[in-house]
Structure 1
Amino acid sequence: MSYFDTVSLAPADPILSLTEAFKADKNPEKINLSVGVFVDQSGVTPILETVKEAERRILEASTSKSYLPMTGTPAYASLTQKLCFGEEIAESLQGKVTSLQTPGGTGALRVAADFIAKNTSAQTIWLSNPTWANHKGIFGAPGLKLGTYDYFDSANLSLDYDAFLKSLESIPAGDVVVLHGCCHNPTGVDLTPEQWEDVAKIAAAKKWIPLVDFAYQGFGDGIVEDAAAARIVAKAGLPAFVCQSFSKNLGLYQDRVGALHVITDDASNLANVVSQLKISVRVNYSNPPAHGGAIVTTILSDEKLTEQWHAELKAMRDRIASVRTQFVDALKAAGVEKDFTFLTQQKGMFSFTGLGKEQATALREEHSVYIVDSGRINVAGITDSNIDRVVAAIKAVL
C-alpha cells in the first residue's frame, strides 16, 4: 500500500483547466476566450515599452539579489498607496495604513484571508454572486465561512442594485465583504461613484469591513476613475483591506506583483496589525519576489515613464472598448437574434454573455472556442482575425 493511496484526485480549476484543454486541442483555428490575459490585435500578450525600459534600468543598477524585507520596500509601499488612493488621501492615511508587496493580487488576497481568520472576529466572508472562481478557494483555505450577497441580475444581464443594497444591509457587524473595485470579474458590471458612496455609508452603519479586490485599475474608465471604490472607502475612515494587482495594467502576469493595503480606524492598532501580517507572510512565502516590484517602483517614480505607461494603458483600454462595439455589431450583422448591446455597457476584459453551460460546452467541443461554463468571456481575446469565427460559433450554438 502506497503512502499516498489516501490522496484523492482534486477537481480541476474551472478556468486554468480550460487553458490546458485549449493547448491540447489540435484545431489550428482554436480560440481561447477563457484565460484572463490581455492580447493585442495580433493575439499576443505584449510586454509594455515602459516595462522594457524599467528592466533595462534595473539591470544596469542592480548590485545584489538579496532578500527583500517581509513587507517589501518602503518606496514600493508609498508609490502603490498613491496610485491606489491618490496623493491627498494617501497622505491623510499615514499612521493608519500599512502596505505589503505581495506575489500578485492573489498573494495579497491570501495574506488578507490568513490575517482575517487568525486575528479578527469575522464569522463570514461575503462574496458577490457571481464572483471570481478563485475567491472561494482563497478565503476558504484558512477555514473562513463563505456567504454570498446579491449582485447580478442574470435575467437582464445587469446590476441588481436594489437586491445588492438589501444584501449589504443584512450583513452582520465584524464580517468582511469582498468588493470588486472595478471591471467586475466575471460580469463586467460596475458600480458608479455615487453607488460606491452608498456602499461606504452602509458599511459604516452596519460595521462590516470592506475588502476591495482591485485587480484592473485603468482597464475600465481610467486610473483615477477606476479607483473610486478604494478612495471612497478610505476617505470614509473605514477599516478596510485593498488588494492591488499589476498583472493586467502593467502586463506583469508572470512577475507576480501586487500589494495589500490595510487601513486601520485607530492608529494605535497599526503596529499590532503589521506584526501579525508579517507572521502571515513569513509562514507563507517569507518575503516577496523583487523583480516585479522593482519594475513598478521604477515606472511610478519617474514622471516621464509614468506618463508613457498611462498612454500604453489607455491604448489597451481603448482596444477593449473598441472590441466590444465591433463584437456587438458583428453579431447583429450575422443575423443573431439575441440582443448583445449590453456588452458595450460592461467594463474591463470580462463579460457575461448570457450563454449557458450547454452552449459553452458546445462552443468548445464543436467549434474549438473556449469560454468558461458560466458564459464569461475575455473580450480582449477577440481579434480581427478570429471575430468572424467567434460570431459564427455563437450563432450556431444559439
Structure 2
Amino acid sequence: MGSITANPFQDIPEARTEPIFLLVYTRQMKGKHMYFPVYWRIVSTQTLGASGGCHAGAVLLRDHYEPWKRSGKPEIFIPDDTWCKFPILTSSVVPCSDQLPVNHPFLFKSAGIKPTIIPYFNHKTNSFDFEAFTATLRELPAQSVILIQSNAQNPTGSDPSPQQWRELATIFSQRGHLAFFDAAYPGFASGDIDTDLQGVRFERVGLLSVLTANEDTAKKLEVQMKLLARAESGAPPDFGSKIVETVLSDEALKAQWREEVRDMANRLKQRRLRLREGLEKLETPGNWNHITEQNGMFSYIGLSVEQVTLLRDEYHVYLQDSSRISIAGLNNFNIDYVARSISAVVKATTK
C-alpha cells in the first residue's frame, strides 16, 4: 500500500527540507502523534496550488512508479463524480472519453496518464456508494493508483465515514493499491481539521508527499522531486509557505486558524440545514435529508437536467446540469428564494 497527497498550501519549487516548515506541515497533515522516524521517510515538494500538486504528483508517478514502468500503461482510476466533471451514470469502470469535462481527468491525461472512471456516488440515494466503490477496488489490478478526495468531496459533498475509511485503508493494503489524495478542504466538512484528515492519516502521508520505505530511498526521491519542481514551475514565490510556517509554528495562531475553519464549517452546516428545512416546510416532494448528510461547500441536491434548466430559465438560480449547488453561495438574502424556487420547480415537474 502507498499514497501520495496534493494539498493547496504549496508554492515553492524545491523539495522543502527545512525542519520548521516540513515538520509543522507534516505534523498538521499526519497528526501531532506522528512518530519521528516517519518524518525522515516523507519527501515533500511545494507546487502552484492543489492543481499544481496533482500535476506534479502525476508526473512523478508517471516517471517513477514501478508498476507503471513495467506495464508501460500508466492509468489512474478516478471517481465518476469528481472535481468539475459532469456525472456519468454508471455502476462500472469506464474509460474517460476525449469529451470528458476538465480538471481531474484532463489534468492526468495531460501528464500522459489514462484516466478511467469508477463508481463513487449513488444518484438514487444521493450518497457515497460504499458498496460499489469497494467492490471496484477489490476488482482492480493489484497496485492500481486511485484518486480520492480526503473530505468535503467536490462536487458531491459525500465522504466515507470514519469506519468506511478504515475499511478502505485495509483494502488498499491488501491489494497493494496506491492512494492519490487530493486534500483541498481539510476542516470544511466537520469543522475539525484532524477529523477531516482521518482518511489521509490512515495512509501516512502529508503535503504533496511520498512515504518511502527508508531514509536512503527518501534522499534519492528528493533529488527527483527537486528536478520535477524546477520543470513544473521554475521559481514561484514562497510567500504562501511563509504564512503557513508562521501560523503552524505559533500555537496561538494555529488555534485561531483552527477556530476560524471550524466557524466556517459550522456556517456551511447551518446553510445546509436552513435549505433543507425550507424545502421541507414548503412540502417539496421527495426526501431532502441528503443535503445535511453531505459535507463541505458543494452538494448534489438530486435534480434532473430538466429541473435544473427550468430553475435556471424561470428563476435565475444557477446550478450545474449535474445539480451541484454551491452551499457557500447561499446567504441570508437568497436562501429562502432558492428554496422556494427549487420547491416550485420540483412541484411543477413531479407527476
- Normalising TM by the smaller chain, what interval? 0.7 to 0.9
Following superposition of structure 1 onto structure 2, how do residues 272-291 of structure 1 map, counting pairs within 5 Å? 272-291=220-239
Secondary structure of 2:160's counterpart equals: coil
The yes-or-no answer on 1:233 pairing with 2:203 is yes
Match of 2:4 in 1: none
Aligned partners of 1:192, 1:287: CA distance in 2, in Å?
Answer: 39
Secondary structure of 1:325's counterpart equals: helix
| CA shift in 2, pair 1:131/1:90, >3 Å | farther
Match of 1:100 in 2: 45
| CA shift in 2, pair 1:76/1:287, >3 Å | farther
The yes-or-no answer on 1:164 pairing with 2:112 is no
- Structure 1 position 73, deviation (Å): 6.5
The yes-or-no answer on 1:317 pairing with 2:262 is no
Over the matched positions of the two proteins, sequence identity in percent amounts to: 32
Deviations 1:268-298 (A, max 9, x none): 3212222222222111211342122111111
Secondary structure of 2:156's counterpart equals: coil
Aligned partners of 1:316, 1:385: CA distance in 2, in Å?
Answer: 18
2:241 aligned to which of 263, 268, 293: 293
Following superposition of structure 1 onto structure 2, how do residues 130-169 of structure 1 map, counting pairs within 5 Å? 130-133=81-84, 134-169=103-138
Runs of 4+ in 1 over 6 A off after TM superposition: none
Match of 1:81 in 2: 26
- Structure 1 residue ranges without an equivalent (≥5): 1-66, 235-240, 243-258
| CA shift in 2, pair 1:92/1:195, >3 Å | farther
Following superposition of structure 1 onto structure 2, how do residues 54-65 of structure 1 map, counting pairs within 5 Å? none
- Structure 2 residue ranges without an equivalent (≥5): 1-10, 69-73, 85-102, 347-351
Match of 1:267 in 2: 215
The yes-or-no answer on 1:71 pairing with 2:15 is yes
Query: Aligned letter for 2:196?
Result: D
Indicate conservation of the 8 Å contact 1:177/1:209, yes or no: yes
Aligned partners of 1:214, 1:283: CA distance in 2, in Å?
Answer: 23
Indicate conservation of the 8 Å contact 1:364/1:370, yes or no: yes
Normalising by structure 2, we get a TM-score of 0.83
- Structure 1 position 335, deviation (Å): 2.8
Count of residues paired in the alignment? 310
Match of 1:375 in 2: 323
2:174 aligned to which of 177, 197, 205: 205
RMSD value, Cα: 1.9
Following superposition of structure 1 onto structure 2, how do residues 244-263 of structure 1 map, counting pairs within 5 Å? 259-263=207-211
Indicate conservation of the 8 Å contact 1:101/1:288, yes or no: no
Query: Aligned letter for 1:151?
Result: Y
Aligned partners of 2:169, 2:37: CA distance in 1, in Å?
Answer: 18
Aligned partners of 2:288, 2:12: CA distance in 1, in Å?
Answer: 48
Secondary structure of 1:374's counterpart equals: coil
Match of 1:361 in 2: 309
Match of 2:79 in 1: 128
Aligned partners of 2:311, 2:223: CA distance in 1, in Å?
Answer: 50
Match of 1:335 in 2: 283
Match of 2:3 in 1: none
Normalising by structure 1, we get a TM-score of 0.74
Indicate conservation of the 8 Å contact 2:12/2:241, yes or no: no
Aligned partners of 2:35, 2:140: CA distance in 1, in Å?
Answer: 28
Match of 1:118 in 2: 63
Secondary structure of 2:203's counterpart equals: helix
The yes-or-no answer on 1:223 pairing with 2:193 is yes
Query: Aligned letter for 1:216?
Result: Y
Indicate conservation of the 8 Å contact 1:82/1:90, yes or no: no
Indicate conservation of the 8 Å contact 1:181/1:212, yes or no: yes
